[in-house]
Each structure stands twice: as structure tokens, then as C-alpha cells.
Structure 1
Amino acid sequence: MKGDRSEPGKLVRSLFSPLTGNTIMTQTIYSYQQLQYKSIARLKQIYNDIICTVEVLDKRCKDAWINAIAEYQASKVQTVVDAVSDEQATDQAELDHYIADQAEAIAPQLTTVEINFYHHEVYINKQFIAYIAYDIDEFVMQPWLVMVNGKEIFRGTTSAKCLRYIQWHYQDGTLNPSNQVELAEVPEVPTILKISFYEQEAFVGEQLIARISYDYGNYENLYWRVMINGNEIFRDISPARCHSYIKQQYQLGKLPLLEQLEPLLSKINSLTTTDAYLRYQLLEHLTPREWRSLLSCSAQPQVQELVTV
């Protein structure tokens, strides 16, 4: 276009902002050498065109007009550069803030609960997604394990590598594809109550849901087992692993339901001898409440016999 053509001797500068995509136009810039070829009348016209505010010391001297125009142009160029730099800095800050917000929205916020030095549970908010355990076997180059639902899915040299693995694979949906679903309401994990070193119980509120016991007769290092209704459903090398298994299975709704005690106690009360009850339930699976009921049932025939005598 005709209006875009530059007059000979002029140099038109345009600054481009890569962040906004906008082109910032500036005033016409004359080099010092170009101004020397101008007449005083042309220099006065340029002075007025650019609205120069620098005072001309000697209006009869050509160099005075050139110095005034050059000084004014230099100040304007610096002002434009500073403005562009400020705009770019603002745009970059907004972009960084946007990226950080998106990363926070996409990346899962992991919470790690240290059960002991060798066992850590990993949560997303309240949802139990995996646990990190330690392999105590000798000569193992990668002793740290990532476990989901009682199964090993990854090994690493440090627990930090296992945590990064959990974060990456949970984010892309490959940590536990069959069970990685968004639950409308995530139930609280069960509470573990320690009865003795060899016996623990898992509760949800006041309801017993599972027992963890030590198996004296096992010789394959899997000494600890999860028992529900007198049946073994899981076995591992430490009670902490059994606890984590129960918590994760309960949140996923895959833990078998424990029979309520009231029907069981009614059966106990209907029995008249200890031997009859022992045929119904193994001795090692009795709870303190069942023991008391059993002992009261056993004592009733003796009391009745004394009364008869």
C-alpha cells in the first residue's frame, strides 16, 4: 500500500511480542548519517513531525538540529524497548502462572503415610492407591517395592523412585487399570487394633471386618495372614502388608463381609458342651467375647450338677 512506503533515508522499526503475537509500531528512526544529508529546512520538518521536545541550542546550526533529533530518538527507542520488556515479562508471568495452575489440576497430590521405615502407604486425598514395602531378602539390588492389592508391580533402588512411579502411572491411569476409578464417596480406611504381637483386628467404626494373625506352622516366610469368617484370604511376610491389603480391598469394596457375632453367639448359647462348640469353631479363632460366652456355657452344667447335689 502507498501509505506503507518509507521515504528514502528513513528506517522504520517494528517490535514483535512472541507471547502475545502483537506487532508494536514505533516512530520513524533516522540514523545520524542520514540526518547529515538533510538540509536545515528538512531537519526542521523532521523535528516537527516527530514532535521532538529536545531544545535546539542554535537554530542556525545544522549540527544542533541533528543532535536534538538524535537525542530525542534515542530516548524514545529506550522507552519503547522498556515498555516491550515489561509487557513480555508480564505475559511470561501470566503464562507461568497458567502452566502452574494446569499442572496442579492435572498432577495428583500424593500423601505418604509412614507406617514404619520399611513400609509407606500412598493416598490421593482419602483414597488408598498403593503402598511401598521393603524386600528383606539378601543380595537384592532393588529392594523397594510398589504393591497394589497385595501384588508387586514395580521395584526400585530407593523409595523415592517408587513414589515417582506411583505418581506417573496413577496420572496416566496405568497404576491399577482395573480398579483406578473415581469414587463418588471414598470410605475411610479401617483402623487396626493391636491385640497382641501375634494378633490384630481391623475395625470400621465399631464393626470388626477382619483379623490378622501369625501362623506358627508356616516355613516359607509368609507368616502373617488375613482371616475372615475363619478363612484365610491373604498371606504375606509382615503384618503391615496385611493391614494395607485390608485397607485397599475395603475401599474398593472387595473385602468379604464378616459374619456378625450375634448369630454366632446364639449358636454358642445353644450348645451345651465345650466339645460341641470346638467342633463348630477353631479355638485359635475365638475372640475374647466368644471365650467368655464359651466359658459361661461350659460352667452351666457344673453349676446345675452342684445344685442337684
Structure 2
Amino acid sequence: MTYIAHRQQPVSEQILAQAELQQYINQQAQAVAPEEYRSVEISFYDHEIYTNGQLIARISHDDSDFITQRWLVLVNDKEEFRANTWAKCYRYICTHHKDGSLPVQEPETPAATTGNEVMVQIFDACEQHGLELLEDGIYYKDEKLGEAGCTNGNWWFTRTDDATQQRILCNSASDAVWLVSRAELPECADFLNEYLQYRPLEQMPSVELKHLLDSAELLTA
């Protein structure tokens, strides 16, 4: 059975065609690999193929003019195979994955937090604490309390009244702003108690706890 997809079909025809395609996909999937492989529909023209919970390839559709083999297999965003039907692409993935000739899909790297996203998170946290975020730092009324930021995925803060201006790591923008917002640095024990009420110890990663203890030692120095 050959299925030909047209993007300009009337809506009712496209819905019917999609239903027929999905039914055919399910039948072919069961015929080729009853349980081992699974297709996840991202859109009508894009599918992700999984095995044992791992993404191994994608099936997409080429809308370029004068193309007869519009369905294609992508691994690591690189074209590996073309065919005139979705089922042939699916069969190609299953067959070549089983015999080990399908390239290995690399894990996707999470998108890095952009400068704009960092500023938005800090701005939102400042609003929650009644603070103002300006270009050079975090203010309460006209007084600069300190700064907060994120470098290489690590959140940090500095306080204006810290002579060393050391960047102290923390877990999030909310934590950074909360720590900057403390009007005065209390004694070490009080500081730890207050922070632990805000963030329970069991929720704190080891790296954050280490830096918290390090900062507490600085307060008593």
C-alpha cells in the first residue's frame, strides 16, 4: 500500500488521510516489531522512533518541489534514508537498528540558559521580594544590595557589603535574590537556620550545601 501525502488537501480529507495513515502505521509497526519499537507522533509529518525508552531516529517529510521520495529518516538531524512511504522509513529504522548498522542517536543537549532568560528569572524573583532590578544590580529603594547571575548553568550572588565580592553559588534565581535581599547578615547559626527554613536540607544538593557552609564561615570571619 502506498500512501501519498499532500499538504494542500481539504481539512476533511486530511483528517481521513491521517486516520488511515495512523492505522497503517500501527499495523506495520506490529508486523515489523510487535513490542520492541514505538512510534511517537510529533505532528502529522514528523514522528520519533523509540526502543526501550530511547530515541533512535526520526521520520520526517520533505515538501520540496519535484521530490518523489518525500519521507526521510533522520539520525542526529542527518538524513540517512529516503522513501516514498512512511512505512519503508520505519522498516529501515527497525531493520538497521537490529543489525547494528543504524547510526547511534546522540543524547540531545539541553539548551543553555540565555542571558535574557537569566534576567527574566532574576526580575521575577526581585518582584516577589519587593526589590528592583537595575542594570548594575539589585536595589531596595535607592540602595544597591548586590548582584545575581548565572554562569555556565551555575547560579550565584554577591552582596554589596561583602568586601571580597566573592560570587557564592546557589541553586536558582529565587535563592540568589533571597540571599541578596537579607538586609543584614546575621550570625552564622541564625543565617543557617533561616536559610534552612527557606530551603529544607533534604532539598539541597551537596554543592549548594558546601557553598552555604563556606559562606557562613565567611560571615563569622
Q: Shared fold (TM-score greater than 0.5)?
A: no
* TM-score, length of structure 2 as denominator length: 0.40
Asked which structure has the greater RCO (Cα within 8 Å, sep 6+), the reply is 2
Based on CA coordinates, which of the two structures has the bigger radius of gyration? Answer: 1
